[in-house]
Amino acid sequence: MTDSRKYFGTDGVRGRVGETPITPEFCLRLGWAVGRVFAGRGSGKVLIGKDTRISGYMLEAVLEAGLSSAGANVSLLGPMPTPAVAYLTRTLRADAGIVISASHNPYYDNGIKFFDGSGNKLPDETELAIEAELDRKMVCVASDKLGRAERMEDARGRYIEFCKATIDRNVRLNGLRVVLDCAHGATYHVAPGVFEELGADVFVIGNEPDGRNINEGVGSTAPQALAAKVLELRADIGIAFDGDGDRLAMVDHTGQILDGDELLYIIATHRADAKTLGGGVVGTVMSNLGLENAFKSRDIPFVRAAVGDRYVKEAMSSRSWELGGESSGHIICLDVATTGDGIVAALQVLLPMIQSGRSLADLKSGMQKMPQVMKNVSVPAPKDVAQSDDVLAAVRAVEAEMGSRGRVLLRPSGTEPVVRVMVEGEDLSEVTMYTDRLVDDVEAAGRRRGPAAVSVSGGD
């Protein structure tokens, strides 16, 4: 992503509702700008899906108005997971798909994400073209050129069938006790149908959205409620999605929570054993060192990309690899989907369970996560602080002391004025000591940058 973007971040446009750019006025213009770019292409059809935030109704209405005023036709999908919009955009031969969602953020945030006609994130040149239109005067097309809008009634059924088709039709989940946590989000009316139709005994929490409770104490960012429910019901497995359904966490029968690194390990090793891996695996700079070591012991190629599913997918595509993911639970299986998909990834994890008869706890046992401590340090000019001579020297000193027993990562945030300090190693007390030492160094460098206060919080 180039620095010339005024509105687009690494994944569309996002912010707090009522504050620029997530206002009715701006999103009306955004819809018009998108319509201007896509109305002259192919069918001129644009799909709009959303999660369950109360602001989704407002933003859907203004985006629809903006698109139709530019001559684009609109199909409204209602609440649908982000990967469902990507899939439907591609299969319905639409020119673009729009998702109204802020993913795992609280309900008072929202965002606008985009897919091209192939179900991929928009290329840079298309985002730049949309931004160029946003700088022009908004003019409505003539009445006979206005776009039409329709509500698509069978979107849910189409997507459920797609999810089921990503695993062999002979695979059944009969007898498997599954607890689903839908985060009061976009999967609430989709995920239960997928697993029920595959034969599982399904129990659901987080499936009562009220517009304000999305991700609140539930979902992949708060899987403790799911873990408790798995133990209570003596279930075989728990699956938690985030608000828009593109990431997941899972819980084994003992109540242990598995993050994206462990899920990626299970999928990758199963595919390696079946000789269907399709190259190697892409992680990120945040992927646990234990994952890298486990892959090394299995001779599975592994590379790290920058944080963000966009960068993971770019690294996969450049190598023609089919599997990648993030610790946060974004798992991308390019052989079956064009983007991260929580439901699809969960089914890929269940495959080795069903085919081997082993539990999730047993399948993850080949990977030993290393202790990892991350703290956020609020400083002025985080990028400059992280690259300052004193901080770089401090990092080199810690790396020299740890040697091959661990690693250090300092990452300035792209969305807030913090430097994320992460240390990973074999011994938790040592890792904590080194983290605190580096936090002190970053704080000191921040104070030298200016009078802004510095503060420290746990990592996200």
In the numeric block, the tokens 């828009």 are attached to 244
The DSSP result for 126-188, as a single string, is HHHHHHHHHTSPP-PPPGGGPPPEEE-SSHHHHHHHHHHHTS-TT---TT-EEEEE-TTSTTT
Token output for 124: 């840079």
Q: Is the separation of the CB atoms in 349 and 341 below 8 Å? A: no
Nearest to 56 by CA among 243, 196, 329: 243
| Active-site residue flag, 103 | yes
In the numeric block, the tokens 């928009």 are attached to 122
- Report the alpha-carbon distance of residue 344 to residue 197 in Å, rounded: 14
CA distances from 234 to 194, 203, 229, 363 (A): 21, 11, 8, 19
- Report the alpha-carbon distance of residue 304 to residue 338 in Å, rounded: 20
Q: Is the separation of the CB atoms in 184 and 51 below 8 Å? A: no
Strand order in 73-79's β-sheet? 13-16, 109-116, 96-100, 45-50, 73-79, 149-151
Among residues 103, 220, 327, 388, which one is catalytic?
103
4: three-class secondary structure by DSSP: coil
- Report the alpha-carbon distance of residue 458 to residue 4 in Å, rounded: 31
Element of type H or E holding 440 = helix 428-449
**Phi, psi at residue 375, to the nearest 5°?**
-130, 145
Query: Tell me, what amino acid is at 315?
Result: A
Token output for 132: 């160029």
Token output for 201: 């005994």
How long a stretch of residues is the chain? 460
Residues in a beta bridge with 151? 76
Provide Rg for the chain, Cα atoms: 23
Q: Active-site positions?
A: 103
